[in-house]
Each structure stands twice: as C-alpha cells, then as structure tokens.
Amino acid sequence: MPKPKKSPVNETRAEAWRLVDGVVIGGKVISDLVGMDQHHKLDAPQRAASMRIALQTLRFADRADWVMKPFLNHAPHPTIRNLLRLGIVEVCAESAASHGVVNDLVSLAGRSNRTAGLKGLVNAVMRKSLEKVEGNWDKAPVPKLPKWLRKPLAVAYGNAALQGIEVAHMKSPPLDLTVKSDPSHWAEKLNGTLLPNGTVRLASGQQVSALNGFDAGEWWVQDAAAAMPVQISGVQKGEKVLDLCAAPGGKTLQMANLGAEVTAVDISEQRLVRLQENLTRTKLSADIKVEDAMKLPKDQFDVVLLDAPCSATGTIRRHPDLCHARDGAEINGLIQLQAKLLRHAAKLVSPGGTLIFCTCSLIPDEGEVQVEEFLSANKGFQAKKITQPWIEESWRTEEGGVRLRPDYWSELGGMDGFYIACLQHKN
C-alpha cells in the first residue's frame, strides 16, 4: 500500500507531537529530544513554539484526557491520544484558533499509514471535546502528580500541601534572573519584579537572548530557589570554593561574581560547554574541570557546594515531562549516590569551612534525611543557622536545613522545589 501523501501542515505542531510522543511513549525527557537533528531543522521561533506547546500538553495531559473521555469508546493508540491532547491543550490553554488546530491535527494523522485510518476519529473527538470544554477548562480537575511521587509527598507534607503543589505545577513558570549587580535597577529596566532574595522575575514566554543586558552578560537565567544555596552559603571575596556537579553553572557564576576563586567540577564535558559559554558572556572566570567528583584529588576549600544528582522532582513546574518519562525507579540509586558524594565532599572542606548540600528534589529522602544521617555519622560537622531575612520560619526543617516548595511565594509566582543545608566543619 502506498504511503498517504503528506498534507501541508503546521510543522511546529508536527514537532510538538513528536516531542510529546518521545516523552510519553519513548520515555525520554524533552532536553534529550530537542537535541536531535529533526528539531534543529526548524527555525528558532518554531523550535521555541513547539517546545512550549509540548510542555503545556504534558502539563495538562490529565485535563485533556478528562475532556475527551466521553467521546472515546475505547482507549486510542497512544500516539493518537497524544495528538488529541495536544490539540485540546493548544486551544484551551494556549488560546489557539480551534478551526486551524483541528484541520492541522487531521492532516497530521493522515501523514502515515499507522494513523491515516483514524483521521475521522481525530476530527470527531476534537470537535466534540472543544464543544464540551468551552467555558469549562478552568473547572476541569487539577492534574495530579504520578502515584510514585504523590504518596511520599502526601506523607511528608500532608494532602493539603500536596494539592497546593499540584496547583502550582499548573502555572507556567516565570522567567527568573540572577543579576551581577543592582537588581532593583534591572527589575525596573526589564519591567520585572524584584523578589525578596534579590532575584529579578519576569513574565514567562520571553525570548531570553533578545532581552536587554543578555549580550552584555549582566545576568543569567536561574530560578529563585536555585539561587538560594549560594546566597545562604556566605561565600566571600577571595575564598577558595569548589562547586561539585556544577553544570549548567548558575551557582558557579554566582560565586565567581562574589569574587571567590571557583573550581567547577562536573563529569559531563558537554554540559560544561554551556557553563563556559555563560562565563564568557558574563565576563566571569572559574577553573573548569571535567572529572568524576568521587575521584577528585583531596584538597581543602573554604566552601564546598554540592548540588547533588537527584530526581529533579522540584523542577516539575518547569519540566512536566518528568512526570511522564520517569517512574521513580532511579531514586534509590540516586539516594545512595548522594550519600557517597556528601561523605566525599566533606573531606574537601577546610577546618572551619562550610559545606552546602542541596538537591532540586521534593522528596525528603533526597534532602532532610540525607543531612540528618550525615550529621549523625559525622560529629565534626554541625548545621549552621541560616539567617537570611527572606527565609521564612515555615521553611526551616528539624535538622537545620531549609525546605523550598513550588507552592511557596505563590502570590509572587512560586519557586522550584529545593532542599538546602549549610554545614560547618568544626575541626
């Protein structure tokens, strides 16, 4: 049988469909999929739009399923379900014109033998779904986190907090910047908001490279929560500091900007390329080393910052693909790796020096529990009092760390989930 002729369609939507399929069916994360040649055949605006549509589709997949369910006699092939999800979300959450979206989706379905016979289904389900959901999108159920993550978060924070986190994940995250100096000036210049910790917050959906100050290297993109470990660390000018698992490098840039002598270590040479590019753009300097942190020769540093590999569950509001591409199976291995890295990092801290441990995870086993067990086994370290005035009392944890969640600062647009502990080497 000859292949169906390819109808002219919006290639941005075609690429968004490929990205969603790659996550939901292929089990990959968006960052891997956008590195493929097929993605780079599109121009920059198309790439940005396809990624935005794909992420929104993944963010609201549950809602789209709720909308279309009454019009499906049985579960469609996963790729068709993803196509329907994409169309419903683009119309309802992105305010795209329904007529153009439906026509494009039908054409996309007709592009291959695998889905050509389902063009009629796509057309019918889309039209009925959009008629049903008109005026009711915001009344649809809040998308839930996967079961493997909901359970530990409910135990850790309670059901009310869990629901608050899920509500926070529905909102497109703002664009946060760490500026080299005078954040008040840059907040005004960029028409942004100055957060209590000095982060400049802008509305989402902006082209970063087109913003004032990008080419001059006056700032870099960094979520407010991700900026806090260095702000808490107390790094001083001239101190010898080590950033372990440093890529993509926001914390390295912060410490270099404070005047510290920074050594940035990461096992991935490719990821460190981006760090070097940002150092060059911002006219900052650091000693970059491609090395396994566990094999790093023993040395003594005034400050060691370990942003340990983790489940990244605190970044789901920015990366909703994680809910679809992962099942939590890797977490036990990550917990063991974190403990090993923390023990090794402690050996590199000078007497009287500071060890910062942080993870962008919402799971206490990757944060509070790690530090509690470390302090129990390492009497030469103690938790330092975190005194920054913008740290709220409700964020503090029993072992002396700080727990950040997406539902915190909700009136300001939220933040990523993070855990941070500041540990002092006593002798």
At 318, which CATH number? Answer: 3.40.50.150
Task: Give the span between the Cα atoms of 174 and 172, in whole angstroms.
Answer: 7
* Model pLDDT for residues 16-57, shown as the tens digit of each residue: 999 999 999 999 999 999 988 889 899 988 999 999 999 999
Tokens at 281, concatenated: 């753009």
For residue 248, whether the previous peptide bond is cis, meaning omega lies within 30 degrees of 0, is yes
Mean pLDDT (the chain, rounded)? 94
> Which of residues 139, 172, 202 is at a domain's end?
139
Please indicate, yes or no, if residue 118 is contained in any of the structural domains. Answer: yes
Q: What is the pTM assigned to this prediction?
A: 0.92
Give me the helices (H) in 113-258, please.
Answer: 113-116, 119-133, 147-157, 159-169, 183-189, 224-233, 250-257
Q: What is the pLDDT of residue 367?
A: 98
What's the number of domains the chain is made of?
A: 2
Task: Give the span between the Cα atoms of 370 and 409, in whole angstroms.
Answer: 26
Residues of the chain with pLDDT under 70: 1-9
In sequence order, the 6+-apart residues with CB closer than 8 A to the CB of 421 are 356, 357, 358, 367, 371, 383, 399, 400, 401, 402
At 60, which CATH number? Answer: 1.10.940.10
Please indicate, yes or no, if residue 370 is contained in any of the structural domains. Answer: yes
Please indicate, yes or no, if residue 194 is contained in any of the structural domains. Answer: no
Q: What is the pLDDT of residue 250?
A: 96
Please indicate, yes or no, if residue 395 is contained in any of the structural domains. Answer: yes
Task: Give the span between the Cα atoms of 238 and 255, in whole angstroms.
Answer: 10
Please indicate, yes or no, if residue 153 is contained in any of the structural domains. Answer: no
> Which of residues 139, 154, 173 is at a domain's end?
139
- The SS3 of residue 29 is coil
313 and 417 in a single domain? The answer is: yes
Host domain of residue 275: 227-425
> Which of residues 120, 139, 158 is at a domain's end?
139
269 and 415 in a single domain? The answer is: yes
Cβ atoms 422, 233 nearer than 8 A: yes
Active site residues: 360
Q: What is the pLDDT of residue 9?
A: 59
417 and 311 in a single domain? The answer is: yes
